[in-house]
Amino acid sequence: MSPKIYCGYPPAQFQSYRAEIMDAIQRVCEIGPHILGKEVEAFESDFAAYHGMKYCVGVGSGTDALALTLKAMDIGPGDEVITVSHTALATAAAIVIAGATPVLVDMEEDFYTLDPKKIEAAITLHTKAIIPVHLYGQPCDMDAILAIAKKHKLRVIEDCAQAHGAVYKGHKVGTLGDAGCFSFYPTKNLGAIGDGGGVLTNDEAVAARLKRLRQYGWDEMRVSQEPGVVSRLDAVQAAILSIKLKYLDADNGKRREIADHYTSLLEGTNYTNPKVRPGCEHVYHLYVVRSSNRDRLQKALKNLGLEAGVHYSHPVHKNPGYLHKIRISREGLSVTDKAIQEILTLPIYPELNLSHINSLKEVFHV
């Protein structure tokens, strides 16, 4: 076994596509442009086409993708956005950046995603949107969420940061709501070698406004029509992402193969394996097991050089810096609070050698 095996390991993917990536970097460096330009436009076009969507707007990060989408939909100060506490902090941070208030509801026990049954109790006159998070690569229950949103005339902005290529009932995530927001952070299923993000939408007005907001509020003549920010997907990252996009489905297939291997090894143990929502294709950004013996397993794996993690030991409502910015639904977060004591993320990435997993069998069966 290697000295250390991490939950994710981006350098391994770089080695897989090294020649193509180095050629792309050299091309951008020699020819340019280095900011936006044809490389970004090509990736935006390819990423939109991959999803069957009209528009993709590249931005600086997944957090910016969410925040700017909220702003493009005129959601901000005085408004509330419903989402989960069990997510990367970025989800709530983006809502706060936009000036709105995150309203946190509990998650589903089996799938770790937003529980639609808890949404309506959290809706107020100030609610403007729902952000379902396709956590760990698992699609949310979008039919139920979209029905509630339609009933209450709410926007739906999908957080797809961990679910590139995941499918819900024949539709890729990011195509079901009003917009789909993606992170291209290096550890993601589609990861750059640096920060990056993107927004998918079929709404021409939202796409046009996003293009302004990501660059000072400029129009085509570089005249600012509204206050904006600087959040641009740079040309080098776009060129790298265009290469990796070609291999995304195959790499997700490798993740599923590793996940199946884990599931087989864990049969007959006290650990709860990830469940897959019926009619969906999970892409296993993370493979998360659950057990009351979580800490013992984590320690045993670390002794073998395997760095298992906890995603997330501190959900949004456990971060002191955000307590004055959020509202917790009156139904509480009991499922979330229990799960964070038991979940453990096992290493999973396309290049992970199955022999490393086989060597862990005895640890799982103690």
Other C-beta atoms lying within 10 Å of the C-beta of residue 235: 27
How far apart are alpha carbons 196 and 122 in whole angstroms?
A: 32
H/E run at residue 156: strand 155-159
Residue 314 Rama label (left phi>0; alpha psi -120 to 50; beta): beta
Q: What is the mean pLDDT of residues 285-304?
A: 94
pLDDT at 366: 66
112, 85 Cβ separation under 8 angstroms = no
**How far does the chain reach from its first CA to its final CA, in angstroms?**
20
Would the pTM of this model clear 0.95, i.e. be above it?
yes
**Count of domains in the chain?**
1
DSSP element (H, E) containing 182:
strand 179-183
User: What does the pLDDT average to over 167-172?
Assistant: 98
Q: What is the mean pLDDT of residues 3-18?
A: 92
Asked if the peptide bond before residue 312 counts as cis, ω within 30 degrees of 0, the response is yes
Does residue 282 contact residue 274 with C-beta atoms inside 8 Å? yes
pLDDT at 365 over 90: no
The range of the structural domain enclosing residue 61 comes to 1-366
Alpha-carbon span 306 to 3, nearest angstrom: 8
pLDDT, tens digit, for every residue of 68-99? 999 999 999 999 999 999 999 999 999 999 99
| Domain CATH number, residue 16 | 3.40.640.10
Mean pLDDT, the chain, as a whole number? 96
> What phi and psi values does residue 146 have, to the nearest 5 degrees?
-65, -35
pLDDT digits (tens, 9 = 90+) for 272-292: 999 999 999 999 999 999 999
Residue 343, both tokens:
């979940």
The SS3 of residue 263 is helix
Q: Which residue has the tokens 């419903």?
A: 82
- Proportion of the chain above pLDDT 90, given as a percent: 92
The predicted-structure confidence for 199-255, as pLDDT tens digits, reads as follows 999 999 999 999 999 999 999 999 999 999 999 999 999 999 999 999 999 999 999
The span from the CA of 294 to the CA of 356, in Å, is 20
Query: Is the pLDDT confidence value at 2 over 60?
Result: no
pLDDT at 356 over 90: no
* Under 8 Å between Cβ of 162 and 188: yes
For CA atoms 138, 144, 147, 152, give the dihedral sign.
negative
| Phi–psi pair at 129, nearest 5 degrees | -160, 160
| Residue tagged 């013996």 (tokens) | 293
